[in-house]
Amino acid sequence: MLRKIVTIDAEKCDGCGLCVPSCAEGAITMVNGKAVLAADNLCDGLGACLGDCPRDAIKIEEREADEFDEIAVEKHLSSQGKTAPAHHHAAPAAPAHHHGGGGCPGSRAMSFAPANEDAATPATGSVQSRLGQWPVQLHLVPTTAPYFQGADLLITADCVPFAYAGYHEDFLKGKAVVIGCPKLDDNNFYIQKLTELFTRSDIKSITVLKMEVPCCGGIALAARQALAACGKQIPYNEVTIGIRGEIK
């Protein structure tokens, strides 16, 4: 039958594997370091995996393909010890705004109103979150997400919020944010992803928040190289946090 179905460009695919968990039907698998469609009848053609591909290697095409088969999906997932997803979902109750092609529920792009900035600190002494978007991990954020348009961007080394107690109030409030660890990740990927983000989005300013340890300088280097590569003049600032939590 003629229907819409996922297609994966093997030349663009870098084997990151982010699309695999985003496909609830288990239709995508890794073969020889590349993402491939396991079987046509496992793909519902809705494209939930599109938003998680950092290389834009996944598209929806219309072609002759086996009909989507929920029973085949159940058997396929059962063989992997997983449960088949429901294909009829109720509208979300939370007042969040979802954007883009999606992905698994845990990594869908959304923006939401952060806590009231004028609200008093609760009696318990807990601090109100100033986060206004999801996701935040640099590998997962879509570079065209609406929350980046006209935003002040905070690029955060992922140890910083643990070391600096005032992170939400002093840095995160009013900003879009991406986080990463140059020690554990590929910094070349960071350069490419940030270049794409700066190019595609109307970023007003960039603040890089990093730790004082030498390896953490990689995230600032990636940001500077991406800024140079995008060809835009965007105000840029770096802040270093000490391992005892002080601003250096």
d(CA 181, CA 138): 9
In the chain, residues under CATH classification 3.40.50 are: 97-117+125-241
pLDDT in tens, the chain (248 residues): 888 999 999 999 988 888 887 788 889 988 888 999 999 999 988 877 776 688 889 998 999 999 989 889 888 888 877 766 654 333 333 344 444 444 444 555 666 666 555 555 555 556 789 999 999 999 888 888 889 999 999 999 999 999 999 999 999 999 999 999 988 888 888 999 999 999 999 999 999 999 999 889 999 999 999 999 999 999 999 999 999 999 99
Integer Cα distance of 13 and 90 in angstroms: 33
Residue 90 tokens read as 């109720």
Written as one string, the DSSP assignment of 50-66 is GGG-TT--EEEEEEE-P
Does pTM surpass 0.75?
no
Options 3.40.50.1820, 3.30.70.20, 3.10.105.10, 3.40.50.300; CATH of 2-78: 3.30.70.20
DSSP 63-88: EE-PPP-HHHHHHHHHTTT--PPPS-
Q: Which residues of the chain does CATH 3.30.70.20 include?
A: 2-78
Tokens 């996922």 map to which residue?
6
CATH fold for domain 97-117+125-241: Rossmann fold (3.40.50)
